[in-house]
Amino acid sequence: MARQTGSMKASVAVENHAHALRHQIAAVVFRPLEEVCFSQTRRTIKVFQKRQTLQRALHFCRVVGGILAVPKTAKENALVYEASRDQAEYCSGNVGFSYLWLGANDQAVERTWRYWESETPLTWENTWRGTGPNGGAMENCLVMLYGVYPGYWSDIACLDTYSFCVPCEFDELPVMYLKGPALCESSPFNQKYLLGEMHDGQPSLKGFFHTDIYWNSTMGVWILQSIKVAAWAVWEPKRGVHYPLGTHQWKVMSVLCGLEVGTIANLTLSVCGQGMFTCEDGTCISLQKRCDLRVDCPDQSDEYQCSLIDVPQDYQNNIPPQSTALNQSLAIHFTINIISFPSVATQDLTFVTTFQLLLRWRDPRLSYLNLKTDRTLNIISEDNKKRIWTPRVFFSNAHGNVFTNLNQGSRVECVQEGSSVVGGPHHTREVNIFSGYENSLEMGQLYSVTYSCDFELLMFPFDAQVCKMKFMLVSASASYMTLVPTLANYTGKTSLIEYSIGHLTMRTLPNEEFSSIAVEVRFMRRYGFYLLTLYIPTTLLMLIAYATLYFNPDDFNSRIVVALTSLLVLSSLFTQLVDVWLFFSIVMIFNVVMLQTLADFSQQAILNKGGRLAKAFKKIRKFLRELGNNKDTGVDTPVQDLRTSGDIITHIKAAEEDGHEKPWAANGNNWHREEPSRLPVYGRAFRRKNWSENKDVNMSLMMFSRIILPVIFCIFNACYWGAAIV
């Protein structure tokens, strides 16, 4: 309630002051140049009558462009004391005789006093209270006393619980700059100020020409007043007396710069010159540290409101910008950075690629603020991305309807290409402005897309494929804007499992309604991959099938089963991409199967009366008949043996009447001879000494096959690899 009452009284006082000001100014007044120049060049100590802790006092003096003062002579010490003695009781806080901080300490070496800022020793010391500093290591800070110790020095503990008034010293008075919307070209307020004389207990500020800034204790406000015309503004501190450095909300009390009476405008007052940024508390930092993702201001205000782009109120993001070149279409510079090819599916005639697409253009309608050389700091926020125009590109031959987008992961950044100009004083915050005529915008996004490609497999696997990635600018026709090929780059592995990546080319597609670009990628098939996965396995299968020609000629089952198994394995392993080599491999094994069959059956007629099939049925009947006789006579099962003559002998061993076995003589009557016959046998049990005597297998055809198949294989390989190399 008390706060509201005070504000109402201040408002009434402000209105009365405005009425008096209108009658006071009768002529144009300019401040003499000599007064300004003389004030700026002399050494000065100003006492700011606001109690602050030591750290705040050191910071405050830096904000106003000076350092915490230490008088260098007895005369200076006396002047400081006389200028502040009237407020000494307030400055002390009624806790003793200490009332002014002085800018020295003896923390490093006891009783060796050094400046806080430069750490150089003092060249002069004033009269001390008592016998001198006596606080030891507990009291390392320096203060000025009043009362019974007028102007004396004393040491004191450097505690935040102590608050005293602050004297700041200046070798040259710093120039202070006023910025904000009330400082247009026709503004009645000055832009530059110097510290002036004391006014109502606080140092005032004098403009270079016709403006003053001073404290009015009656109204409880700081007043910005032109002595040229009746124009002024006020700022009411929220808590006690506070010097108007930094950024504050001033109430405009006159019509000026398009602002109505009562408008609240943010005005900034600081000693920060060109290339510097003013924190809200008045601290100066380099403008390059503004919005660099690192906090540099004590109040963190350097990372507030980090907008990089100035969008006019009448800007329409559905209308493309005009070209910066006269009578030419808008150029959209196209850059593609291919990262990888996760999949190249020859059988599906597709390939998958991951790439970054960059589109760069200029928009003269926009201005950019405080661009950095580090481009990662020039990325536009998500809100601003939606407010500006961006090009739209269609991926023509990709699977699905794929367009460029501003989805998650996309970025739009300002590219610093031209020089900047310093923002005018009507900007509350210091800015470097970059024009959209000279600086570009760049949109980037990462895509993973499946493309179609017409693979030419006539020379597989010695082929080299050229696949295209087509892009079409659909924001407007080619007469309004064009895609300009800039760079096509591949940063991934050049050697994939099946292919090697060759060079990339990029060209503009002619005679298109919309501007289009084709990026051509060359895939060269790797021979080593197919040596391991195709040529060596198929060659081994052909060798296995060929080896059956050296099996026992009497063992037809083994020969034909191994050959057929090789053919089946070859067919099952390679069901896709049937080329000349694979077809040749299948034909070779098929020929082995056919030759094995012809060699075995070409020597005999199978179905005639004396043929092999008839003999087989005859032997089966005879075997069954003998088996029935054995059951009646109690003889053992026949056992076969092979004599050196090659005849097949059946040995029947009868049982003794007393049940004991008795060996038979080799030339006994119980041996009987059968006609030589060829039964189905396996392994080496019936291997002949001389295969040429075998009348059941066409050994001539077998020998011919052993020779002709390697000859065919060698001739084919000579032609095949010769054509591949050429």
- Per-residue 3-state assignment (H helix, E strand, C coil) for 208-240: CCCEEEEEECCCCEEEEEECCCCCEEEECCCCC
Of the listed ranges 164-173, 387-396, 526-535, 629-638, the one predicted with least confidence: 629-638
Instruction: Kindly state the average pLDDT of the residues 512-531.
Output: 88
Domain assignment present for residue 294? The answer is no
Asked whether the beta carbons of 133 and 160 are under 8 A apart, the reply is no
Is the pLDDT confidence value at 426 over 80? yes
The mean pLDDT of the chain is: 83
Of the listed ranges 19-33, 397-411, 679-693, 708-722, the one predicted with least confidence: 19-33
Domain assignment present for residue 297? The answer is no
Is the pLDDT confidence value at 511 over 50? yes
Q: Given 500, 525, 550, which residue is the final one in a domain?
A: 525
**Are residues 463 and 444 part of one domain?**
yes
Provide the 3-class DSSP secondary structure of residue 1.
Answer: coil
Of the listed ranges 22-36, 250-264, 706-720, the one predicted with least confidence: 22-36
pLDDT band at 527 (very low <50, low <70, confident <90, very high): confident
Using one digit for the tens of pLDDT, what is the confidence trace for 532-582? 888 888 999 999 999 999 988 888 888 899 999 999 988 876 655 557 888
pLDDT band at 650 (very low <50, low <70, confident <90, very high): very low
Q: Which CATH number does the domain housing residue 577 bear?
A: 1.20.58.390
Q: For 436-571, list the strands marked E by DSSP.
A: 440-452, 464-473, 481-490, 499-509, 516-525
Is the pLDDT confidence value at 726 over 70? no
**Are residues 710 and 650 part of one domain?**
no
Provide the 3-class DSSP secondary structure of residue 102.
Answer: strand
Domain assignment present for residue 277? The answer is no
Q: For 491-630, list the strands marked E by DSSP.
A: 499-509, 516-525
**Are residues 204 and 164 part of one domain?**
no
Of the listed ranges 18-22, 136-140, 492-496, 584-588, the one predicted with least confidence: 18-22
User: How far apart are alpha carbons 445 and 368 in whole angstroms?
Assistant: 22
Provide the pLDDT for residue 351. 94
Domain assignment present for residue 253? The answer is yes
Alpha helices in 262-301 (DSSP H): none
Placement of tokens 């895509």 in the chain: 447
Q: Given 147, 170, 193, which residue is the final one in a domain?
A: 170
Cβ-in-10-Å burial (0-12, 13-18, 19+) of 217 comes to: exposed
Is the pLDDT confidence value at 378 over 80? yes
Alpha helices in 271-315 (DSSP H): none
Q: Given 490, 525, 560, which residue is the final one in a domain?
A: 525
Question: Which is higher by pLDDT, 293 or 621?
Answer: 293
Helices (runs of H) and strands (runs of E) counted in the chain: 12, 33
Is the pLDDT confidence value at 682 over 50? no
| Phi, psi at 561, each rounded to 5° | -65, -45
Provide the pLDDT for residue 659. 45
Of the listed ranges 430-444, 617-631, 666-680, the one predicted with least confidence: 666-680
Provide the pLDDT for residue 432. 93
Asked whether the beta carbons of 404 and 415 are under 8 A apart, the reply is no
Provide the pLDDT for residue 627. 74
Provide the pLDDT for residue 41. 54
**Are residues 702 and 675 part of one domain?**
no
Provide the pLDDT for residue 644. 40
Is the pLDDT confidence value at 453 over 60? yes
Question: Which is higher by pLDDT, 724 or 688?
Answer: 724
Provide the pLDDT for residue 530. 77
Domain assignment present for residue 37? The answer is no
Q: Which CATH number does the domain housing residue 85 bear?
A: 3.10.100.10
**Are residues 186 and 53 part of one domain?**
no
User: How far apart are alpha carbons 288 and 272 in whole angstroms?
Assistant: 13
Handedness of CA 22, 27, 33, 35 (dihedral sign): negative
> 469: left (phi > 0), else alpha (psi -120 to 50), else beta?
beta
User: How far apart are alpha carbons 555 and 600 in whole angstroms?
Assistant: 10
Please give the single-letter amino acid code of residue 462.
F
Is the pLDDT confidence value at 649 over 60? no
Instruction: Kindly state the average pLDDT of the residues 393-407.
Output: 91
Domain assignment present for residue 306? The answer is no
**Are residues 131 and 242 part of one domain?**
no
pLDDT band at 611 (very low <50, low <70, confident <90, very high): low
Partnered with residue 165 across adjacent β-strands are 100
pLDDT band at 94 (very low <50, low <70, confident <90, very high): confident
Among 434, 122, 487, 62, residue whose Cα is nearest residue 284: 62
**Are residues 705 and 679 part of one domain?**
no
3-state class percentages of the chain: helix first, strand second, coil last, to nearest 5: 25, 30, 45
Q: Which residues contact 721 (CB under 8 A, 6 or more apart)?
A: none
Question: Which is higher by pLDDT, 19 or 548?
Answer: 548
Provide the pLDDT for residue 609. 58
Provide the pLDDT for residue 614. 62
Cis status of the peptide bond prior to 312, with omega within 30 of 0? no
Q: Which CATH number does the domain housing residue 462 bear?
A: 2.70.170.10
**Are residues 127 and 91 part of one domain?**
yes
Handedness of CA 701, 706, 708, 709 (dihedral sign): positive
Domain assignment present for residue 348? The answer is yes
Q: How far is CA 476 from CA 43, 330, 442, 516, in A?
A: 66, 10, 18, 12
Provide the pLDDT for residue 40. 52
Is the pLDDT confidence value at 325 over 70? yes
**Are residues 715 and 597 part of one domain?**
yes
Give the DSSP H/E element, type plus range, for residue 78. Answer: helix 74-84
Maximum average pLDDT range among 129-133, 137-141, 442-446: 442-446
Angle, CA 544 vertex, CA 540 and CA 547 arms, to 5°? 135
Instruction: Kindly state the average pLDDT of the residues 602-622.
Output: 64
Domain assignment present for residue 314? The answer is no
pLDDT band at 648 (very low <50, low <70, confident <90, very high): very low
Cα of 552 vs its chain's centroid, Å: 69
Q: Which two tokens stand for residue 288?
A: 């390059």
pLDDT band at 657 (very low <50, low <70, confident <90, very high): very low
Please give the single-letter amino acid code of residue 178.
L
Provide the pLDDT for residue 22. 46
User: How far apart are alpha carbons 477 and 458 in whole angstroms?
Assistant: 39
Is the pLDDT confidence value at 267 over 50? yes
Maximum average pLDDT range among 280-294, 622-636, 672-686: 280-294
The sheet that has 648-651: what strands, in order across it? 639-642, 648-651, 671-673
Total-model pTM: 0.69
**Are residues 238 and 160 part of one domain?**
no
> pLDDT > 70: what percent of the chain?
82
| Phi, psi at 67, each rounded to 5° | -135, 160
**Are residues 370 and 504 part of one domain?**
yes
Domain count, the chain: 5
Q: Which residues contact 121 (CB under 8 A, 6 or more apart)?
A: 112, 113, 114
The sheet that has 411-415: what strands, in order across it? 411-415, 440-452, 350-361, 330-345, 481-490
Using one digit for the tens of pLDDT, what is the confidence trace for 210-252? 899 999 988 889 999 998 888 999 999 987 558 899 999 999 9
Q: For residue 619, what are the domain limits? A: 612-693
Instruction: Kindly state the average pLDDT of the residues 144-151.
Output: 94
User: How far apart are alpha carbons 701 and 76 in whole angstroms?
Assistant: 129
pLDDT band at 32 (very low <50, low <70, confident <90, very high): low
pLDDT band at 13 (very low <50, low <70, confident <90, very high): low
**Are residues 403 and 485 part of one domain?**
yes
Of the listed ranges 69-83, 204-218, 425-439, 631-645, the one predicted with least confidence: 631-645
Provide the pLDDT for residue 265. 95
